[in-house]
Amino acid sequence: MISISVTRRDDGQSSISVEPGGTLMEALRDNGIDDILAICGGCCACATCHVYIEDGRDELKAPASEDENDLLDTSEYRQEQSRLSCQITLTPEDDGLKVRVAPED
């Protein structure tokens, strides 16, 4: 199991445990983190699953594709550690990941 610490928009804290292989967006949504709207269902076509990677492996701290980068550019809340959670496939190395849900645009 992968343990993930989540800071919600209201600054509340949650800890979730998930199996590797799914996306971070699915893990958040399936564990009741209602701040993640994921309107496009994880197709990298919106930015409603925007999170900040607060602590995790370095590869997670920068957009993985040009499409993700372009979508993040549409957010006034983009930061250096911004990611779309639908674009992060969880691996065993992500145990201990810490994320913060970005403000809603």
The predicted pLDDT at position 27 comes to: 97
The predicted pLDDT at position 104 comes to: 93
33-80 pLDDT, tens digit each: 999 999 999 999 999 999 999 999 988 988 879 999 999 999 999 999
Strand order of the sheet with strand 2-7?
13-18, 2-7, 97-101, 50-55, 82-84
Percent of the chain with pLDDT over 70: 100
- Domain membership of residue 27 as a residue range: 2-101
Q: Is 34 exposed, middle or buried (0-12, 13-18, 19+ CB in 10 A)?
A: exposed
Give the count of domains, the chain.
Answer: 1
The predicted pLDDT at position 85 comes to: 97
As a whole number, the mean pLDDT across the chain is 95
Contact status, residue 21 vs residue 15, Cβ threshold 8 Å: no
Residue 5 has pLDDT above 80, yes or no: yes
The predicted pLDDT at position 37 comes to: 92
CATH number, domain containing residue 63: 3.10.20.30
Taking the complete model, does pTM exceed 0.75, yes or no? yes
